[in-house]
Amino acid sequence: MPKLALVLNEPPPYRIPILNRVAATPDMQLHVIFCCRREPNRFWDLPAMQFDTVYLRERITTVNGRYIHNNPDVLAALTRFSPDAVIGNGFNPTHLYAMSWCSLFRRTYVPMTDGTLQSERGLSKVHVGLRRWTYRRARTVIAASNGGFALYRHYGVPRSACYRSCLCIDNESFRVAIDEHQTQEFDFIFCGRLEPGKRPEFAIEVAARCASLLMRKVRLLIVGSGSLEKSLRLRAKAYATKVDVVFHGFAKQADLPGLYRSSKVFLFPTEADVWGVVANEACAAGLPVIISPHAGAADELVVDKQNGFVRKIDLEQWADCAATLLSNDGLREAYGQRSRMMIEPYNFDQSAHGIVEAVRAALGSSTKTTNAASELTP
């Protein structure tokens, strides 16, 4: 039975159900090594983990707002488990130690990334060279999205070596909310950390401009917490005659389906997201989405004029799209139905299958006849 180790930064809730399914695979033994229990800016509720875990001694350095993990004790953890294959989801020092361990003991290393060409723009020559060296020597690689496939192809990885493990949520929990026929009391919802890169203030401005176009007051629900909350409340007061802004604060996972279904349109004006799981949540809840092209989910899960709009962060463009959706119930409902259809392939079973098949192929034990790298299309 092959032994598989994953070296991950922390336990994210949307990955745990996937790993539970990998652990349930009859012919594979899973061991997950976490660099820390939780990064400082995370407040997640974690589902039960049904696999063996090891938490390394936390050694985190912050560089330009990013958390860098440096855990040399990963070497001892790998030696104790002695896996046949190791999956790593980054290039932190901890992952480099894991790569070195695999090289020393002649074990298989499988790179996994949520990244895209856009998210990795501006890397130094050292970082680019390290990725090129790692990817070209890997038997298989794992990507979360079509953007990840493009990233690997950029580094010369053959398409046949690429496997998909998509980022996903519990779609069924959001469908239950749909069946309850909840009243949509809000015109818009913004859900995410209230930090500059997420552009929550832009959501307020879009709502205000849309109110002028519709010649009525609109309602915006803001779900999340962060450093901008105080300034956002002040901005909301400035637009109080046009927008009724309700601040919900941080929401538990169980509360999210109902919050999404209380709204008509999801606003996602991020400046940089390798994917954006909030788009999954909105689509599963049956909402049309207005999204910036800086999210990996744009043009893949959210497709322009199919289940929403993909627009650069421009106030007039976003307000026009928002007004179009709010003034046309039929179009908004059609886009919402399309969102529910497009989210279906993004599920835990498919994501776990991609990991298992990538490992099997890397170890030479795959029996499948088609490649798991086929791109998801609407």
Same domain, residue pair 156 and 216: no
The pLDDT tens digits for 323-364 are 999 999 999 999 999 999 999 999 999 999 999 999 999 999
Task: Give the mean model confidence (pLDDT) for residues 274-288.
Answer: 97
How does residue 378 score in pLDDT terms, banded at 50, 70 and 90?
very low
Contacts of 164 (CB under 8 A, 6+ apart): 142, 143, 144, 145, 148, 149, 350, 351, 354, 372, 373, 374, 376
Would you say how long the chain is, in residues? 378
Q: Is residue 370 assigned to a domain?
A: no
pLDDT at 313 over 80: yes
Give the number of C-alpha atoms closer than 13 A to the C-alpha of residue 318, restricted to the C-beta side. Answer: 25
Same domain, residue pair 142 and 90: yes
pLDDT value of position 40: 82
Same domain, residue pair 94 and 159: yes
How does residue 369 score in pLDDT terms, banded at 50, 70 and 90?
very low
pLDDT at 42 over 90: no
Q: Is residue 369 assigned to a domain?
A: no
pLDDT value of position 366: 54
pLDDT value of position 125: 93
pLDDT at 177 over 60: no
Boundaries of domain holding 218:
171-342
How many C-beta atoms lie closer than 10 Å to residue 255's C-beta?
12
pLDDT at 183 over 90: no
Q: Is residue 42 assigned to a domain?
A: yes
CATH number at residue 273: 3.40.50.2000
The pLDDT tens digits for 245-261 are 999 999 988 899 999 99
How does residue 370 score in pLDDT terms, banded at 50, 70 and 90?
very low
Could you tell me what percent of the chain has a pLDDT over 70?
94
Whole-prediction pTM: 0.91
pLDDT at 265 over 50: yes
pLDDT at 144 over 80: yes
Q: Is residue 36 assigned to a domain?
A: yes
Same domain, residue pair 114 and 176: no
Q: Is residue 10 assigned to a domain?
A: yes
Query: Does residue 71 or residue 175 have the better pLDDT?
Result: 71
Q: What is the mean pLDDT of the chain?
A: 93
pLDDT value of position 12: 86
Q: Is residue 150 assigned to a domain?
A: yes
Task: Provide the domain count of the chain.
Answer: 2
Task: Please list the residues that pair with 291 across neighbouring strands.
Answer: 268, 310
pLDDT value of position 179: 57
Same domain, residue pair 284 and 353: no
Distances (CA, A) of 349 to 24, 47, 243: 11, 16, 41
State how far the Cα of 301 lies from the Cα of 275, in Å rounded to an integer. Answer: 9
pLDDT value of position 295: 96
* Residue 167 token pair: 């980022």
The pLDDT tens digits for 1-28 are 899 999 999 998 899 999 999 999 998 9
How does residue 41 score in pLDDT terms, banded at 50, 70 and 90?
confident
Same domain, residue pair 190 and 304: yes
Same domain, residue pair 161 and 187: no
Q: Measured in whole angstroms, how far is the alpha carbon of residue 127 from the centre of its chain? A: 22
pLDDT value of position 367: 47
Q: Is residue 371 assigned to a domain?
A: no
Q: Is residue 373 assigned to a domain?
A: no
